[in-house]
Amino acid sequence: MMIVTVSGAFQVFNEVMVMTSGGPNNSSQVLGTWLYRSGFVRNDFGYAAAVATAVFIITLVLAVVQLRISKKKRVQW
């Protein structure tokens, strides 16, 4: 479920950026807009790349764990 949530947060980047750009006081900011601001607005490309890499690794580890758990719960018919 975590994988779907993280990928969904990246997919709403366009809508949030066009409509509110993160909203007042960052109220509608998602992970994608936060990474965009870190990298391109504040010119901190290294930090944005490091956070994106960390998010990728965490998502990858959670995906592997989720797949292993779901394999154990499968019922053979």
Q: Convert the pLDDT of each residue in 7-35 to its tens digit.
A: 776 788 888 888 888 788 888 888 888 89
Q: Identify the helix (H) or strand (E) that includes residue 15.
A: helix 13-19
**CB-based contact 33:10 (threshold 8 Å):** no
| Rounded Cα gap, residues 54 and 31, in angstroms | 12
- pTM for this entry: 0.71
What is the pLDDT confidence band of residue 4, given thresholds at 50, 70 and 90?
A: confident
| Rounded Cα gap, residues 44 and 54, in angstroms | 16
